[in-house]
Amino acid sequence: MSGSYQTTPAERKAAFRHIVAYAKPHLGTFLLVFGCSLVAILADLLQPYLVKIAIDDHLMGGKADAKLLWMIGATYAGLALLSLLFTYWQNNLLQRIGQSIVAKLRKDLFRHIQSLSMSFFDRFPIGSLVTHESSDTESISQFFTQVLLSLIRDGMTLIFILIFMFKLDVKLALISATLLPVIAIIAVVFRSWLRQTYQAARTQLSRMIAFLAENLAGMSLIQAFNQEEEQFKQFEARNQRYWKANVKEIRSNVLFNRSFDILGNVSVALLTWIGGMAVFHRELEFGVLYAFINYIRQFFQPINAITQQWNTMQSATVSMDRLWRIFSTKPEVVDPEPEQAVDPKLEDVRGAIAYRGVEFGYLEGTRVINRLDLSIRPGEMIGIVGVTGAGKSSLMSLLCRFYDVTAGAIEIDGIDVRRIPQAKLHRMIGLVQQEPYLYSGSIIDNVRMFDERYTRGQVIEACRFVGADPLIRRLKDGYDTLLSERGSGLSAGERQLLSFARIVLLEPRILILDEATANLDSFTEQLVQHALQVVSAGRTTLVIAHRLSTVMHADRIIVMKHGDIVEQGTHAELIEQGGYYKELYEHAKGGHGLEELQTG
């Protein structure tokens, strides 16, 4: 999805309008930039005119006045300085605008992405979202700095050069103006070629990056299966394709630039010949010819610069389209309308849960939960078992409203979860995931989720409560140990213990635990079991169990198969019943995990 999608002209227009609106607050600064450009351009263009005056009025006119010549020289130097100063201000101001726009864009994008529902993240690869936040916003910043600068500055330069030319000599100016259509034809012909080579290079680059990202993420598997050589070959093939596309792009750029240079030189030669003849026949002053040759040289620079912005413009519009795609995506799970909303007080929540005729599928036309009914009493501990793909996690995701049910309803204390504001719902439910997410930061901050309202003492108390304290104290810096991204360095069990401590701090009424599947050593497993016991006391607890031993003591075990509850009861009742649960139990007793069983 990272770039190969089609957009309609209407969508492109909307994207452009949306992004350009970010420039509105900077209109005043843009005007300043415009003013600075104007001064710099005029200072540049007046220089040849000054030399013309020196030549025609003083040197050739035979009335050389040293003082006036000195003044002309000094003015020339002054103009050069002025141009330098104003170009510096113009660039500074423009960069500042560009950076503020892109910072705001990144902030808005991040906020918007945060608000989107889980279904969006299912569709959108994380890698491409990272690209959007980084390089797409950067290429939009280039649009506001390089492209706009070129349009303002080079466009104005062109216009002024034409004005100066016509003022100096109409005939020569008209001859020079005939070059414009030639330049336009060259630009148009090259433009489509440049665009093709540019896009081909971008496509090869994103293919290479996608391959790289996938590869790095799966490096352990690659090494375990000795796939290095094969993967290297595949990478090398992509690398070669990118290299070739790049060379082609550079070649087309060089050809384009050189055609412009040749055209510039031919024009100077033509002008020297025609103008020289005119000077020879005394129809033209020498100084005018000098200024003209200068202007015609400068004439090609802005045209070349504007067309060179084509690539930047291309990537900026592609980036705008992509960002617009995200910005125009509305969250599927939304907060209730104020008149529909019910906002229970946290201390009043009892934690009764009811699934009423719940149906759900991730994709249209598919079903992973079938008309499911389930009532859970406040404080009850429920174990949920079933083979992989049975729908256990989906059932929990629906309770947290990561997705909305397609039919039926889920209620907490008799209130439909869709009527509870999401922020409140998420305070009511505590989630301990199979792979708990830990941030880069200290253990203290990870447990209190960077919420400084919880003191260090409270965090330590919570960790003690769940039995994580001895483990943490064994680490080099204890509670101040810095965890790397995703908490690598800690075992799955240890990570779960830290998220239990989070629960103790946040005190949700309902607890969902997706038990770690990774084999825990018996010591950590005991710690996790103990933590579960202490944390679940007094809370409605739902445990997705991957080891039956975890839920053998649950108040009730729900057995799922193909999105249905096929059996429920206590461990003893279910064994007595001799049905599907017993089959799972016998299988697990043989030393197998539930994951090994197929949904057959």
Ligand X SMILES: Nc1ncnc2c1ncn2[C@@H]1O[C@H](COP(=O)(O)OP(=O)(O)OP(=O)(O)O)[C@@H](O)[C@H]1O
- Taking the complex as a whole, the smallest distance from the CB of residue 391 to ligand X amounts, in Å, to 4
Q: Which of 150, 393, 496, 540 binds ligand X (CB under 6 A)?
A: 393
| Residue 483 vs residues 219, 431, 445, 476, 516: alpha-carbon distances, Å | 21, 20, 10, 11, 19
- Taking the complex as a whole, the smallest distance from the CB of residue 360 to ligand X amounts, in Å, to 9
The span of 301-309, 382-390, 420-428, 519-527 binding ligand X (CB under 6 A) equals 382-390
Q: Is 393 or 568 the residue whose CB approaches ligand X more closely?
A: 393
- Taking the complex as a whole, the smallest distance from the CB of residue 493 to ligand X amounts, in Å, to 18
What is the spatial distance between Cα 507 and Cα 125, in angstroms, rounded to a whole number? 33
Assess 153 for contact with ligand X (CB under 6 A). Answer: no
- Helix (H), strand (E) at residue 130: helix 126-131
334-373 residues in contact with ligand X (CB under 6 A) are 362, 368
What is the spatial distance between Cα 187 and Cα 259, in angstroms, rounded to a whole number? 10
Q: Is 149 or 559 the residue whose CB approaches ligand X more closely?
A: 559
Angle between helices 155-168 and 170-177 (to 10 degrees): 140
Spatial contact of 168 and 288, defined as CB atoms under 8 Å apart: yes
Q: Is 141 or 393 the residue whose CB approaches ligand X more closely?
A: 393
- Taking the complex as a whole, the smallest distance from the CB of residue 417 to ligand X amounts, in Å, to 17
Number of residues that bind ligand X (CB under 6 A): 11
The span of 252-260, 389-397, 419-427, 492-500 binding ligand X (CB under 6 A) equals 389-397
Helices (H), 467-547: 469-474, 492-506, 522-536
Residues 6+ away with beta carbon under 8 Å from 73: 54
Assess 122 for contact with ligand X (CB under 6 A). Answer: yes
What is the spatial distance between Cα 459 and Cα 455, in angstroms, rounded to a whole number? 6
Q: Is 390 or 505 the residue whose CB approaches ligand X more closely?
A: 390
Q: Is 156 or 385 the residue whose CB approaches ligand X more closely?
A: 385
Assess 391 for contact with ligand X (CB under 6 A). Answer: yes
Assess 547 for contact with ligand X (CB under 6 A). Answer: no
| Residue 476 vs residues 238, 447, 465, 500: alpha-carbon distances, Å | 43, 18, 21, 22
Selection from 378, 336, 373 nearest residue 357 by Cα: 373
Q: Which of 140, 296, 390, 398 binds ligand X (CB under 6 A)?
A: 390
Selection from 267, 62, 242, 59 nearest residue 178 by Cα: 267
Q: Which of 218, 389, 441, 569 binds ligand X (CB under 6 A)?
A: 389
Q: Is 147 or 542 the residue whose CB approaches ligand X more closely?
A: 542
Assess 131 for contact with ligand X (CB under 6 A). Answer: no
7-36 residues in contact with ligand X (CB under 6 A) are none
Q: How many residues does the chain have?
A: 600
Q: Which of 392, 419, 539, 571 binds ligand X (CB under 6 A)?
A: 392
Question: 354 forms bridges with which residues in the sheet?
Answer: 375, 411
35-94 residues in contact with ligand X (CB under 6 A) are none
Spatial contact of 180 and 64, defined as CB atoms under 8 Å apart: no
Q: Is 125 or 379 the residue whose CB approaches ligand X more closely?
A: 125
Q: Which of 329, 370, 388, 433 binds ligand X (CB under 6 A)?
A: 388
- Residues in touch with ligand X (CB under 6 A): 122, 362, 368, 386, 388-394
